[in-house]
Amino acid sequence: MPAPDDLPDLPVTFRPARTRAVLLTIGTVMLAVFVTIAVAMPAPWSLTDRSTMITTGLLIFALLAMLARPKVVAARDGVTVVNVVTRRRLAWPQVLGVNLRPGDPWVYLDLADGTTLAAMGIQPGMARRQAVRDAGRLRALTEAYGTGTPAGR
C-alpha cells in the first residue's frame, strides 16, 4: 500500500491535455474557416447556403469537442470515468486494478464484477510519460481507497 504522502490530493482529474488541446484548436480553426467562407462568399450564395456552411462548422467543432471530453476524476468517495459518450461513477471498492499495457490505447480498470472499463481520460497517444505517471497515480489511489474483491471470491 502506498504511503499517504505519495497519494495525489483529492479530487484529482486525469485527462489527455495535449490531445484535448489539439482537438479543440483544430475544431476552433475549422469553425472559423467555415464562418469566414460563409461570410465572404459572393452574392449568388443564399442565406441557406451560408447557414449550411456555419452549421457544418459547428457540427465539426461539436464532434471534436466530444472527442476531447474524456477524463477520469478521482475523489474521496470514488472515481468518475467520462468517455466520449458515456459517464460512469464507481465507488473505490468497485475498482480492483488499473492497467496500462504496452500498445493499449488507454487505461483499463478491472472491476469487482469481473468486467473491465476503458478509462479514455488516461491515454498514451501523444504523451506516453504523462499517461504512465497518471496510471500509476490512479493505481496508488485504487490501492489506498479500494477494498473490493473480485466477483466469485
Total number of domains constituting the chain: 2
What is the tens place of the pLDDT at every residue in 16-64?
A: 989 999 999 999 999 999 999 999 988 888 999 999 999 999 999 999 9
Residue 5 pLDDT level (bands cut at 50, 70, 90)? low
80 lies in the same domain as 130: yes
The CATH number covering residue 127 comes to 2.30.29
What is the tens place of the pLDDT at every residue in 58-109?
A: 999 999 999 999 999 999 999 999 999 999 999 999 999 999 999 999 999 9
What does the chain come to in residues? 153
| Closest-CA residue to 113 (of 81, 152, 153, 151) | 151
Q: What is the pLDDT of residue 152?
A: 46
Residue 93 lies in a domain: yes
d(Cα 30, Cα 64) in Å, to the nearest integer?
10
Specify the residue for cell string 469481473. Answer: 114
Q: What is the pLDDT of residue 127?
A: 84
Task: Choose the final residue of a domain: 67, 86, 104.
Answer: 67
Print the domain residue range for 47.
18-67
Residue 22 lies in a domain: yes
141 lies in the same domain as 84: yes
Q: Say what the pTM is.
A: 0.80
